[in-house]
Amino acid sequence: MDLSHNKKYFRFTFYIGTILLFFIIIISTTFGTANISFIESLKVILSKVPFINNFISTYAIPENHILIILKIRLPRIILSALVGMGLSIVGAAFQSIFKNPMADPYILGISSGAALGAALGFVFKLESSLLNSAAITITAFIGAIISTILVYNIARVKNKIPTTTLLLAGVSVSFLLSSLISIIMVFNRDEVEQIVFWTMGSVSTANFNEIILLTPFLFIGILVLLCFSKDLNIILTGDETARSLGIEVEKVKRIVLVVSSMVVAACVAVSGIIGFVGLIIPHVVRLLLGPNNKILMPFSLIFGAGFMVISDTLARTIASPAEIPVGSITALFGAPYFIYLLIKSKKKVI
């Protein structure tokens, strides 16, 4: 279905999707060890909304239920939704820039850089410092940015960034950093469990400080990428065609790649490596609504947020009281879809 010529239907569908996402978030707050009803969750959340809170009473709700919703479950759900939004829109942007349906947010080695930064943070026990868990977030973010700068400088040819060279540089740097992580783990066996769990992706330590840290990077990045959605549509037709239509292809590529890298770095820093979200969500949206980035990107935000919230809800409930890393859940859904894409592309070649 292509909604590009039906703006009213697009807006209506987007609003419905946003409302559904809101209800998914509320429903997710009801899952857990404590038995909290949908109505209780709805009242507690709406009681924090300006103006609406004047009409909502939480007097009959147990205090511990309010604390569980606001201090434990809601920050985690919000963070997972934000991470899903960031990875999904970057995945859509990268697939347009690289003209490759297999491109995902980690293709430039950003995740490996973040993992190395986090590993070094665990080795030097920075989580025990005054910054507590924020120290690992900061080192992961720094690692992601350094790896991104390294990849760009390797791939850059004067003022141009050849797509193929960028991909090869990303893969090479990713393998290099992964080998360094393996060496660090061999010489620091006491920290292996922490490093492995972090690299599997989790939002179990989510708090509002991490949300505040992520939000500026995410929303500025989303705004910039949405502004370039039309240019990305034209670039999909080919670089030469785009230039003939007045698009500054190299400039657009640089801006999109830099902004996307910042978004991914911020997401990975707070959640670890959560795979397949940026790969499968843009594909699903593309199959349902068409390839137009003006529609693909906004709907990727909603689908990505919903997918991550549902995946994290499963991660913290299906093995309760134990917890499964959310990256394992997204991979469980994403890997079969990735295999399907490979088989489908193989049939086209044959």
Tell me how crowded residue 129 is: count the other CB atoms within 10 A of its CB: 11
Q: What angle do CA 174, 178, 184 make, to 5 degrees?
A: 150
**Minimum mean pLDDT among 135-144, 293-302, 313-322, 339-348: which range?**
339-348
| Cα–Cα dist 294/228, whole Å | 9
With cut-offs at 50, 70 and 90, classify the pLDDT of residue 348: low
- Quote the tokens at residue 188: 């620091």
Answer yes or no: is pLDDT of 132 > 90. Answer: no
Counting residues of the chain whose pLDDT is more than 90, the rounded percentage is 56
**Each residue of 167-200: pLDDT tens digit?**
899 999 999 999 999 999 999 988 998 899 888 8
Give the contacts of 319 (CB within 8 A, at least 6 positions apart).
Answer: none
With cut-offs at 50, 70 and 90, classify the pLDDT of residue 268: very high
Tell me how crowded residue 332 is: count the other CB atoms within 10 A of its CB: 13
Predicted pLDDT at 115: 94
Predicted pLDDT at 69: 94
Q: What is the average pLDDT value for the chain, to the nearest integer?
A: 89
Counting residues of the chain whose pLDDT is more than 70, the rounded percentage is 95
Do the domain assignments include residue 118? yes
- Domain of 251, in residue numbers: 77-349
Average pLDDT over residues 70-86: 95
Do the domain assignments include residue 313? yes
Residues β-bridged to residue 157: 160
Do the domain assignments include residue 276? yes
Total domains in the fold of the chain: 1
Do the domain assignments include residue 254? yes
Predicted pLDDT at 349: 55
Answer yes or no: is pLDDT of 80 > 80. Answer: yes
Quick one: which of 29, 36, 40 has its CA closest to 72?
Answer: 29
Answer yes or no: is pLDDT of 104 > 70. Answer: yes
- Quote the tokens at residue 6: 């039906």
Do the domain assignments include residue 109? yes
- Where do we find the tokens 């034209």? 234
Is the Cβ–Cβ distance between 123 and 184 less than 8 Å? yes
Q: What single-letter amino acid sits at 269?
A: A
Predicted pLDDT at 130: 54
**Each residue of 212-256: pLDDT tens digit?**
989 999 999 999 999 999 999 999 988 888 989 888 988 999 999
Predicted pLDDT at 53: 82
Average pLDDT over residues 70-78: 94
Do the domain assignments include residue 20? no
Is the Cβ–Cβ distance between 122 and 342 less than 8 Å? no
User: Could you tell me the CA-to-CA distances from 183 to 139, 194, 253, 268 in Å, in that order?
Assistant: 18, 15, 35, 21
Predicted pLDDT at 222: 96
Quick one: which of 204, 176, 173 has its CA closest to 315?
Answer: 204
Angular region, 325: left φ>0, alpha ψ -120 to 50, beta rest: beta
**Each residue of 90-103: pLDDT tens digit?**
999 999 999 887 88
Q: For residue 272, what is the domain's CATH number?
A: 1.10.3470.10
**Each residue of 303-332: pLDDT tens digit?**
999 999 999 999 999 987 788 899 999 999
Predicted pLDDT at 54: 85
Average pLDDT over residues 284-296: 90
Do the domain assignments include residue 170? yes
Do the domain assignments include residue 40? no
| Cα–Cα dist 190/218, whole Å | 34
| Cα–Cα dist 148/151, whole Å | 5
